[in-house]
Amino acid sequence: MPSLNIWDVNWSLDVEQCPCDVHFAEYLEAEGIAGKAIFHFGTGGHHVLGIRCAEAGAGNVVLGITASPPEYEAYVKLVTARPEVGRIYKVFFGDIYQLEPKLLPVLDMVTLFHLGEFRSERNDEYRALTDAELTRLLLDKLRPQGLMSFYAGSFAYDVAERVVAELVGEGRLVPAGAFNSLRLYLKP
């Protein structure tokens, strides 16, 4: 029986190497975005997006997923020490490529900063979704005019580019510009 493909590292905040979570928080603040339901792929052990959304007080809520036991443990410690963060920021542990659409809420925004980075043959052993299937699943959960965001600095950004090009070609996503290292797309 195959075991779950996990990431056994606690990713600390390193804005020089991976600024996407900080850039997304800055985007929300710069655009005055409020009251949105955000799905966030890859929380990092720093949980900066959830913390920044809680501190901003704009009413944005974040549902994050991590396949890293140490990052999940960091989340438990965070919300135990700072319950005000836990009110708007929920994180669950699992392989994003096993998402079940019936368990997900309707979303306003989706971050797929790490699309393609952790998908491997190990996921195939338990028939996990592909990157394209995952993106389509989340797009189906996104409200019309909802935003999908990708990180252009990812080492697997070519995967995101291929998936997005297909969805743009089908008219399911529309380019909506960039913000720092992020590439933005709207659901028509």
The β-bridge partners of 151 are 182
**What phi and psi values does residue 65 have, to the nearest 5 degrees?**
-130, 140
The residue behind tokens 């009110």 is: 87
Stated pTM of the model: 0.95
Q: What pLDDT is stored for residue 6 in this prediction?
A: 87
* 40 burial type by CB count under 10 A (0-12 exposed, 13-18 middle, 19+ buried): buried
Closest CA to 21 of 163, 153, 162: 153
- List, for residues 70-103, the tens digit of each pLDDT value: 999 999 999 999 999 999 999 999 999 999 999 9
Give the pLDDT confidence score for residue 11 in this predicted structure. 73
Q: Whose CA is closest to 113, among 156, 70, 78?
A: 156
Fold type of domain 20-186: Rossmann fold (3.40.50)
**Domain ranges within the chain, ordered by starting residue:** 20-186
pLDDT of residue 166: 98
CA gap 36, 53 in Å, rounded: 10
Mean pLDDT of the chain: 95
First to last CA, the chain: 42
